Amino acid sequence: MEKKSVILDCDPGQDDAVAILLALASEQEIDLLGITTVAGNVPLSLTESNARRICEVAGRADMAVFAGAPQPLMRKLVTAEWIHGKTGIDGADLPDPTMPLQVQHAVDFIVDTCMKAADKSITICPIGPMTNVALAMMKEPRIIPKIREVVCMGGAVKEFGNTTPAAEFNIYVDPQAAEVVLSSGVPFVMMPLDVTHKALVTPERLQKFKDLNSPVGNVCGGMLDYFNRFDMTRYGFEGGPLHDPCVVAYLIEPEIFKGRNVHLAIETTSELTMGQTLADWWDIQEKTPNAFVCDDLDHDRFFGLLYERLGKL
- 197 labelled catalytic: no
CA distance 126 to 41: 13
Contacts (CB under 6 A) with ligand BDR, residues 255-294: none
SS3 235: helix
The sign one gets for the Cα dihedral 265, 270, 276, 280 is negative
In the chain, where do the E strands start and end?
4-10, 30-37, 65-67, 122-126, 147-153, 188-191, 200-201, 240-241, 257-262, 264-266, 277-279, 291-297
Amino acid at 201: V
Q: Using the rule CB under 6 A, is 16 a contact of ligand BDR?
A: yes
* Residue of 87, 170, 276, 277 interacting with ligand BDR (CB under 6 A): 170
Of the two residues 14 and 113, which places its CB atom closer to ligand BDR in the complex?
A: 14
Of the two residues 88 and 259, which places its CB atom closer to ligand BDR in the complex?
A: 88
Closest CB 285 distance from ligand BDR, rounded Å: 26
Of the two residues 168 and 280, which places its CB atom closer to Ca ion in the complex?
A: 168
168 binds, among Ca ion, ligand BDR, none (CB under 5 to 8 A by kind): ligand BDR
Question: Cα 205 from chain centroid?
Answer: 21
Q: Using the rule CB under 5 A, is 127 a contact of Ca ion?
A: yes
Strand partners of residue 8: 35, 125
Of 291, 265, 259, the residue nearest 277 (C-alpha): 265
* Residue of 168, 225, 267, 295 interacting with ligand BDR (CB under 6 A): 168
Q: Using the rule CB under 5 A, is 16 a contact of Ca ion?
A: yes
Residues with a catalytic annotation lie at 243
Task: Note the residues at the interface with ligand BDR (CB under 6 A).
Answer: 13, 15-16, 41, 80, 83, 127-128, 153, 162, 168-170, 243-244
